[in-house]
Structure 1
Amino acid sequence: MAESEQQSGSMSEDKALEITMPFMVPKKEISMVPDMAKWKRSKAYADYMGFILTLNESVKGKKLTCAYKVSETVEKLLDLLDTLDRWINETPPVDQPSRFGNKAFRTWFTQLDQDAEALVSAVLPADKQSAAPEIAVYLKESVGNSTRIDYGTGHEAAFAAFLCCLCKVGALKVDDQLAIVFKVFNKYLSVMRKLQRTYRMEPAGSQGVWGLDDFQFLPFIWGSSQFVDHPTLEPRHFVDERVVNEQQQDYMFLECIRFINEMKTGPFAEHSNQLWNISAVPSWSKVNQGLIRMYKAECLEKFPVIQHFKFGSLLSIEPLKP
């Protein structure tokens, strides 16, 4: 972990993570397209992007199966996600005429809505319990929309914001970085895939084959970072089903490709055109840099995504001081 502890970003100094201001329940601040300028200048944008890039650096060249520290807070987060997973088993889909958007998801979501604060309290240290109502909002936002029964990159961003807030209050530390991606985020992905399958959730604002993926974006960023300087695997290899099957337990990117192959039929170049194009990029570092640019442009700078983002004391709409 020594090298990742040197990384700059929102997790670089524990003392910088200590928040002393009063916590507040986050609310929407971006109601019109011109408000997007506020978001891009905000402390929240800088903190969120700093968090994503810090984790991107920490996983560079590392396998999911490598050795890393698993702290008590990480264990508690895994328990929280296990609870969400168990609730899916306890809430089977209902019979309904429409194939997509099973209404049982609303029952599942109601349980999370009621219990989110208690779940977050169980993760937080004793002296940070007052942060639970603020941080719980991001957990609730991270699983999809209960009205539309859909899920997309805005919900994924809420989970990253949830983890970022846990770092900002000091519940997660610098030496948790690998476990945040490889344990916690990976487990979150597995629960979200189960939700998507079980309740046939619609992609939120999907761009069809011109989007990267119907549901996720971050595992492609962090997953491509894992491959940087890999001695044998190049971007062209991820469309090879044999490579995917043999290596997906080590690489988040390949696990995403496996899930796409499982959920979609027909030629890969047709159902996942954008990923097919990425497979022609010569190096993983170029893929990684390109995906970060694409994430900013296609997710963080798109009003339909950011209009749902909520701002509180930890991820503040206040402008970043120059």
Structure 2
Amino acid sequence: MAETDQPSGCSSDSITQDVTPNFNFMVPKNEINMVPDMGKWKRSQAYADYMGFVLTLNEGVKGKKLTCEYTISQTVEKLLGLLDTLDRWIDETPPIDQPSRFGNQAFRTWYAKLDKNAEALLAAVLPADKQAAAPEIAVYLKESVGNQTRIDYGTGHEAAFAAFLCCLCKVGALQVDDQLAIVFKIFDKYLQVMRKLQKTYRMEPAGSQGVWGLDDFQFLPFIWGSSQFIDHPTLEPRHFIDKKVVNDNHQDYMFLECIKFINEMKTGPFAEHSNQLWNISAVPSWSKVNQGLIKMYKAECLEKFPVIQHFKFGSLLSIQPVKP
């Protein structure tokens, strides 16, 4: 397996915590109901585990291409199969004719199928001795695809999928050796399915800041994607606004996959429809881009009440304060 060095303050426990398997599994629920509750979130074990997970993966993918060689375990294969099922259901649930352009109601039919089958899908992924975790972890899977009422999708839903993967690590279904596959296979496949959902059902961006946001729908692939570029011999941040560079290299870099999707979905000058990304292209190095995006993610996503009020807490991602 490629390097699994951890960033400072972050151990391999962020990837697997099966050393303490005695969780009293519970169905996760909302705990952040008012703005003052945000302090509980930032002091919680869940916040520490979630950020540790994101940063561990950020370190793991540094300087590596999507097409590099890495271990693909049986659990990773099963998770890819689960995502293939969600993809197939989109094909089986075409959009309906309706007056409004956005938010096609066929999404609710698609979502109802996931809602009904999520635990069974997850049970097929989990080892026999971890089946008791299925009802808890399935909640994060259901939260990760968008909101069935509003037919929207945003960074809070993306965070639910990262939480879903983090929980699979905590029960030991995913291991340290799965680190690159978690980002390059599972998360990348998840992004493909989410883009298909967004296009098929014309989903609204959830809580979008419009031109002042980084992206209408995603954030994590920009963080991990910028880490892939650190110390790249030729490609600098200024290059990602060049369509030829994007088209020639998007198979290797998650960041460029995101830019390619934006280029396909939006018209007009890049500086106008994606101003924050345009500004990032002026940053001198990918390591500075990566550090800046991590700070921005904390400030714009994880420290925003409208996002975190929907985050759910159970035994694996606990609202309890971090033990000193």
Change (3 A) 1:98 1:13: closer
Say if 2:250 and 2:257, in contact at 8 Å, map to a contact too: yes
Change (3 A) 1:17 1:302: farther
Pick the aligned partner of 2:152 from 150, 153, 157.
Answer: 150
Q: Which runs of 5+ in 2 are unaligned?
A: none
Structure 2 counterpart SS, 1:3: coil
Corresponding residue number in structure 2 for 1:50: 52
Structure 1 counterpart SS, 2:109: helix
Change (3 A) 1:256 1:205: same
Pick the aligned partner of 2:257 from 255, 274, 283.
Answer: 255
Aligned counterparts of 2:31 and 2:135: Cα–Cα separation in 1: 18
Change (3 A) 1:6 1:155: closer
Say if 1:9 and 1:53, in contact at 8 Å, map to a contact too: no
- State whether structure 2 residue 230 is matched by structure 1 residue 217: no
- State whether structure 2 residue 4 is matched by structure 1 residue 4: yes
Change (3 A) 1:283 1:22: same
Q: What is the 5 A alignment of 1:182-197?
A: 182-197=184-199
Letter of the 1:31 partner, please give it: N
Aligned counterparts of 1:304 and 1:99: Cα–Cα separation in 2: 25
Structure 2 counterpart SS, 1:66: coil
Q: Which string of whole-angstrom CA distances, capped at 9 and with x for unpartnered residues, describes residues 232-273 of structure 1?
A: 000000000000000000000000000000000000000000
1:16, distance to aligned residue in structure 2 (A): 5.2
Corresponding residue number in structure 2 for 1:307: 309
Q: Provide the TM-score with structure 1 as the length reference.
A: 0.98
Say if 2:151 and 2:204, in contact at 8 Å, map to a contact too: yes
Corresponding residue number in structure 2 for 1:200: 202
Corresponding residue number in structure 1 for 2:267: 265
Letter of the 2:276 partner, please give it: Q
Identity of aligned residues (%): 83
Pick the aligned partner of 2:179 from 173, 177, 180.
Answer: 177
Corresponding residue number in structure 2 for 1:159: 161
1:321, distance to aligned residue in structure 2 (A): 1.4
Q: What is the 5 A alignment of 1:270-285?
A: 270-285=272-287
Aligned counterparts of 2:245 and 2:117: Cα–Cα separation in 1: 41
Change (3 A) 1:49 1:80: same
Aligned counterparts of 2:20 and 2:85: Cα–Cα separation in 1: 29
Aligned counterparts of 1:212 and 1:160: Cα–Cα separation in 2: 18
Structure 1 counterpart SS, 2:3: helix
Letter of the 2:274 partner, please give it: S
Q: Provide the TM-score with structure 2 as the length reference.
A: 0.97
Aligned counterparts of 1:13 and 1:238: Cα–Cα separation in 2: 30
Aligned counterparts of 2:19 and 2:141: Cα–Cα separation in 1: 20
Q: How many pairs does the alignment contain? A: 322
Q: Which string of whole-angstrom CA distances, capped at 9 and with x for unpartnered residues, describes residues 149-195 of structure 1?
A: 00000000000000000000000000000000000000000000000
1:102, distance to aligned residue in structure 2 (A): 0.1
Q: What is the 5 A alignment of 1:310-321?
A: 310-321=312-323
Alpha-carbon RMSD across the aligned residues, in angstroms, is 1.1
Corresponding residue number in structure 2 for 1:294: 296
1:22, distance to aligned residue in structure 2 (A): 1.2
Structure 2 counterpart SS, 1:317: coil
Pick the aligned partner of 2:81 from 79, 90, 93.
Answer: 79
Structure 1 counterpart SS, 2:97: coil
Higher deviation after alignment, 4-13 or 78-87: 4-13
Structure 2 counterpart SS, 1:200: coil
Change (3 A) 1:137 1:280: same
Change (3 A) 1:3 1:182: same
Letter of the 1:35 partner, please give it: D
Aligned counterparts of 1:103 and 1:186: Cα–Cα separation in 2: 26
Change (3 A) 1:10 1:40: farther
Structure 2 counterpart SS, 1:123: coil
